[in-house]
Amino acid sequence: MGGKVITITSGKGGVGKTTTTANIGVALARLNQKVVMIDADIGLRNLDIVMGLENRIVYDLVDVVEGRCKARQAMIKHKTFPELYLIPAAQTRDKTAVSPADMIQLTDGLRTEFDFIIIDSPAGIERGFRNAVAAADDVLIVTNPEVSAVRDADRVIGLLEAENKGPGQLILNRVKQDMIRRGEMLSPEDVTDLLAIKLIGIVPEDETVIPSSNSGIPVTLNDKSLAGLAFRNIARRLLGEEVPFIQLSESKGLFKRIARLFAGGER
């Protein structure tokens, strides 16, 4: 069966699906994997921007499924990684332009050529979501450590289980350790306790993520970024490596941490 289809979804919007897709795609390509990313968010395409490939689009996903071009023609090769491709979403159509069966057919054709096919799901639980998960071998659910995002993740996991695609693995994005310590943010333990699924990544809040996305250079290419490291670790875990989670420290630096240790605040 060849390559693996991984869908990245969340239920709630704005939790970082597209950023996660872009970064995992790039991180896998850096590990010498052949990767194709598919933006399934038809009508609201974004992945091409985050990947810095917007100006190279000729054909899109809808052109492929409607037979106006071959999948190969819609695939945009990445500037740095010759084995990393993107099939962009159409901007002028909507989710109904593609069916779950189309996605299965498309990905089946790509499995022989690629190690990973990564699908960026739209927010929501309707047609676009069903398109995105139809072909998935594995599903990664992105959530933030806040109650509303976790609630939506729970709903999505329930839907995945009902389709025998579940429960999937969890990526906890935008984690702020100092807020967790103050009891203002759910901790990874709180979230896994609620959702009862396996964590595959904990990504810290990182101010370099947004400028990276804006400039089309995913943050995982920045070796100084902690979020970038977290995404590289997720990619290694997808390849079956055992990688410990990053010990998240606070942004305040070592001195403060030592001070708190003496104050008995460090866990």
Positions in the binding site for another protein (CB under 8 A): 100, 130, 151-152, 154-155, 157-159, 161-164, 194, 196
Min separation Cβ 123 and another protein, Å? 15
Q: Which residue, 48 or 102, is less far from another protein as judged by CB?
A: 102
Q: Which residue, 163 or 241, is less far from another protein as judged by CB?
A: 163
Residues facing 169 on adjacent strands: 140, 198
Within 8 A by CB and 6+ apart from 234, the residues are 24, 27, 140, 171, 200, 201, 203
What token pair was written down for 65? 């499924």
Min separation Cβ 194 and another protein, Å? 7
Angle between helices 147-162 and 188-195 (to 10 degrees): 30
Within 8 A by CB and 6+ apart from 241, the residues are none
Min separation Cβ 263 and another protein, Å? 21
Contact 35, 29 (CB under 8 A): yes
Among candidates 97, 194, 208, 213, which has minimal Cα distance to 151? 194
What H or E segment, with its residue span, contains residue 240? none
Q: Which residue, 163 or 207, is less far from another protein as judged by CB?
A: 163
Q: Which residue, 151 or 236, is less far from another protein as judged by CB?
A: 151
Min separation Cβ 90 and another protein, Å? 24
What's the longest Cα–Cα distance across the chain?
Answer: 67
Q: Which residue, 101 or 261, is less far from another protein as judged by CB?
A: 101
Q: Strand, helix or coil at 63?
A: helix
Q: Which residue, 78 or 165, is less far from another protein as judged by CB?
A: 165
Min separation Cβ 62 and another protein, Å? 22
The Cβ of residue 72 has, within 10 Å, a number of other Cβ atoms equal to 13
Min separation Cβ 174 and another protein, Å? 21
Handedness of CA 201, 204, 205, 210 (dihedral sign): negative
Q: Which residue, 43 or 100, is less far from another protein as judged by CB?
A: 100
Min separation Cβ 155 and another protein, Å? 4
The Cβ of residue 150 has, within 10 Å, a number of other Cβ atoms equal to 21
